[in-house]
């Protein structure tokens, strides 16, 4: 039982996940500091202090503090926007720029001209309909 547990823990994806959680927590602190110290003061400078914690209403003697929810929602949206615009969008642009120069991989399969099934590129006969397939036909042509 312990041997199986040790193998589970030592698998690469478990260690990668542990590293990702630690880095994610540290990155979360960085993003939270950015939102708290840069974005929120900018919004406050433009529209006034963005604090809705005083917004409440009462139902049968129970106080519903929807202002705290609005504060949390705005903080979440600011964090999500910061992550998207400062991490995701630049990374996607970088990957797209790198993909423009990449050479497409050679095809490994082609379509059978009779039944349109995917067959290996070197096949001379279709495994599905048994028709003879030309080895000179271009991949993807029917």
- Domain ranges for the chain: 2-100, 106-142
Mean pLDDT by 10 residues, the chain (142 residues): 77 77 85 77 76 84 87 82 86 90 83 89 88 66 46
How confident is the model at residue 8, as a pLDDT?
Answer: 75
How confident is the model at residue 90, as a pLDDT?
Answer: 93
How confident is the model at residue 136, as a pLDDT?
Answer: 61
Architecture per CATH, 2-100: Orthogonal Bundle (1.10)
Question: DSSP readout, 14-78?
Answer: HHHHHHHHHHHHHHHHHHHHHIIIIIHHHHHHHHS----TT--EEETTEEE-HHHHHHHHHHHHH
């Amino acid at each position: 039982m312990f041997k199986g547990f040790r193998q589970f823990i030592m698998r690469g994806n478990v260690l990668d996940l542990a590293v990702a959680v630690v880095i994610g927590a540290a990155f979360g602190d960085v993003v939270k500091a950015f939102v708290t110290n840069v974005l929120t003061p900018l919004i406050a400078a433009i529209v006034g202090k963005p604090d809705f914690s005083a917004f409440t209403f009462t139902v049968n003697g129970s106080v519903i503090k929807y202002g705290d929810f609005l504060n949390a929602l705005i903080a979440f949206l600011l964090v999500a926007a910061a992550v998207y615009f400062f991490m995701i969008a630049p990374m996607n642009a970088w990957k797209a720029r790198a993909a423009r120069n990449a050479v497409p991989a050679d095809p490994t399969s082609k379509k059978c001209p009779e039944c349109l099934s995917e067959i290996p590129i070197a096949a001379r006969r279709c495994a599905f309909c048994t028709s003879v397939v030309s080895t000179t036909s271009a991949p993807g042509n029917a």
